Amino acid sequence: MYRISVEADFSSAHSLREYEGKCSSLHGHNWRVRLTVRTDQLDSRGIGVDFGKLKKMLAALVARFDHVDLNQVAPFDKLNPTAENISRTIFELAEKELPPGVGVEIVELWESEKNRVGYSKG
């Protein structure tokens, strides 16, 4: 099994609902996201997933969350925009974009240099 990872960055604001503390107020992060996919298939060139195509796909997925107040953007207008929920949302969006034979292994999301969350199925 091959695991292929790419990263992207985006900046956004959010406030956490039902949270006791400073994070209940509107604040921002410079997020970093790492998408890791898996495949056991290589094409005729020996490539599982082209890095360039994977980076482009991830950049397009996170662009909808860049320079916005996440609380005003679906699905976070209803879903609490926690790092956990953001990572799961990116995971689910990526799953829909991948070609057959390629699956999402994990999405890791940093809200700061020292704080990150990962989401995977299983």
Supply the residues annotated as catalytic: 23, 67, 111
Q: Which two tokens mark 20? A: 């006791």
Amino acid at 1: M
Residue 91 sits at the vertex; the CA angle it makes with 81 and 17, to the nearest 5 degrees, is 10
